[in-house]
Amino acid sequence: MGNFSNFDFESFLKSGAIFSPKGSKVVLCWGKPIHYAARKDKQLMFYTPDFYLETKKPWMTYPHHIEISRNDLRFFLENKSSQSFHVTWKNPQKDDFEDDFNLIQSEIREHHWDKAVPIVFEEGHCKTESKFRSHAINNLLKVSNNVMIYGKWNRNQGILGGTPEVLCIKTKSKNSVFTVALAGTLPLNNKNSKYTFKDNEQKLLHDPKELHEHRIVIRGIQQAFKDYGKVNVSSTHLLKFSNLIHLETHIRIKLHEEMSAEQLVRLLHPTPALGISHRKAGIQSLKRLHCQENRGEFGAPFGLAWPDGSFHCVVAIRNIQWRGSKIYLGSGCGIVKKSLLDKEWKELQAKRQSVKNLMGLN
């Protein structure tokens, strides 16, 4: 088991942060963070802006941190997270989502947009103190390494999640960047379905609407980098994540010139997987839709910069945000011309259920 002698667990749960990419170690930070407007070289720094990148000081450091394996942290938490939690959930309003659906379809018919992503929030009530946070982290550690764990919090509010989506990975080689297109979803929540898992895989791989939505995201990423580097797109494959299957395509970029972490984020975010496919519309166009004013960090970049210059940034989906005892659980879906209202509404519910399953918050 890893060395926890210098780990102040109670302080971590009161004011801390966590980051764990796929199958790797976990970075745990605690103490009072210091916020900065820009990244400082040779320091371990979190990058946590809001979705609209309007945060004045999105970079922060903590006075203490350790790096340990996921298994060691899981074993450490096993004896500290035995309590179960019941959250009283309130479903989102379908009327608001229907308004957004119709607005997006109107923009698509007018050839202004190809795709857009509305969001909804389910609200819950539960004590979100230290034991709650420990419980949610422990549950996230029990699932597969496809889950990239991230979060930050203080005594009163926070965000915690497990995402399948990478925004960008910048390596020490400076001009090499990795990203993914993640769009196209099939819920697997019907235990009595006559279809096998293999049947569902084939269904998603040959679904015209889902494939079209996925290609829009690939095209958007290619367009973003067309003047900045050589883009290499891999073949599309399937990613199983909790009770969902996604279409995923790995994309690697060889940059002509080095770019900073924030330059990469602003170039990519939001991809059409979370924003609007027509770049000319701009991120601000999303503010015409419901739930935008209070979305906080849902869908925002959440990154960690290492002292060696590398940078790993995920997309903050499949999370909960909380303020006091109030919890906000968001979900989004890609709307294209062939989207069906009721099918998209069910997808939104399935995505929120996946978060409840991941964190043990049913």
* Cβ-based burial of 50 (10 A; exposed 0-12, middle 13-18, buried ≥19): middle
pLDDT 10s digits, 59-91: 999 999 999 999 999 989 887 766 778 899 999
Domain annotation covers residue 4: no
pLDDT at 114: 93
* CB distance 30 to 90 below 8 Å: no
Residue 323 counted as domain residue: yes
255 found inside a domain: yes
pLDDT, one tens digit per residue, over 262-279 is 999 999 999 999 999 975
Q: Residue 252 sits in a domain of what CATH number? A: 3.60.120.10
* 197: in domain: yes
What's the pTM?
Answer: 0.95
Any idea which of 31-35, 172-176, 262-266 has the lowest mean pLDDT? 172-176
Residue 3 domain flag: no
Binned at pLDDT 50, 70 and 90, residue 332 comes out as very high
Averaged pLDDT for residues 34-46: 96
Residue 1, domain member (yes or no):
no
CB atoms within 10 A of CB 129: 12
Residue 267 belongs to a domain:
yes
pLDDT at 343 over 90: yes
Q: How confident is the model at residue 194 (pLDDT cuts 50, 70, 90)?
A: low
Which range marks the domain in which residue 44 is found?
Answer: 9-359
- Does a structural domain hold residue 131? yes
pLDDT in tens, 112-161: 899 999 999 999 999 999 999 999 999 999 887 779 999 999 999 999 99
Distances in Å between the Cα of 262 and the Cα atoms of 48, 97, 297 are 11, 32, 16
Paired with 170 in beta bridges are 177, 311
Q: Is 172 helix (H, G, I), strand (E, B) or coil?
A: coil
- How many domains does the chain divide into? 1
Please determine, for residue 192, whether its predicted confidence score (pLDDT) is greater than 50.
no
